[in-house]
Structure 1
């Protein structure tokens, strides 16, 4: 291959790394490996690929795909990276966003403090979810959990309550939990006591329906867990 051509690519193909990241990555709680991962993501985004695969990132780093996935998950949990929905020619797809990182860097550069109590609540929720699921959360699951708190404004207590409801119902998945939270928000539920009362009301209605069916079919009544996914608007 032409050496001059290769040299031109090297000289003109650089990616500008914001000076704030180099100067303040340690101040916002990043280590060198995490910082390099974010630089790599920034590089891909700058070149038009806003959702590089674990394999793409692994080829640029001294980490395998699994380690890259774990590192991305930690960065999302830490509020340095997010996954957003984009509309590309009427097709919805995921993309990485570094907006959370830039916000943290601006705060650090101008002496603003990060809300540590909120971060502690997030860490507790992530740990609780991973314990119940029996595995690390995926990057998209981490982002969903962050969206419940940051965009939907669900309190950590309510999110824990919805998780508990899913565990009891034997339907441990994010779609089911999201449906519970949607129902609670729609009905103005903001506390665990209100959520408990809502659940009891729904289950009481189901019990009456089950008894009515029993009177027709002579089957033993059974108290089912409420299926939030079958809830109609």
Structure 2
């Protein structure tokens, strides 16, 4: 038993970039393609640069023929490359995952660019609604909503709109809206709109004057 455990640990482990684990769907990879690329990554770390479809399929639940089709598809989609190399004047082929890493890096930069653009638009929208430049404290609050509280800029815009409709355009009121939405698990604009609509409806009921259900007897009308 001990020898088996020692052999198990000697086999090592495969390091999977967390970014790849959380972004493969965004890149356009399905689970089969993702696992296939991970197995190739594992083979490369073991020093096996060009595993056969049979060797890869033996680790998966797909046939060798299906593995071949998926490999061809990954090459066509630009996630995998087959390169030639020379070792001691002997030409051989090997897999390269450089195209995958390049796609992942571009996706990260694109996501960062979109986030920066959304932040810039958010500041502009707030300044437009307030009719003035935001103070340093207000800018810090906006940044805190996004970075610390992890509110989506779209949700923050929705909270701003709700504050405008309520006639309470101030950061404390907007912060309260965001707090309530987060507490109620609201993460999409549709959920925010439904919650706001329900809140305004309840508020309207509370603001209506009291009307007794029992008719009041008017003594002045009696003869």
TM range (shorter): 0.3 to 0.5
TM-score for the superposition, normalised by structure 1: 0.46
User: In terms of Rg, which structure is larger?
Assistant: 2
User: Which protein, 1 or 2, shows the higher relative CO under an 8 Å CA cutoff with sep ≥ 6?
Assistant: 1
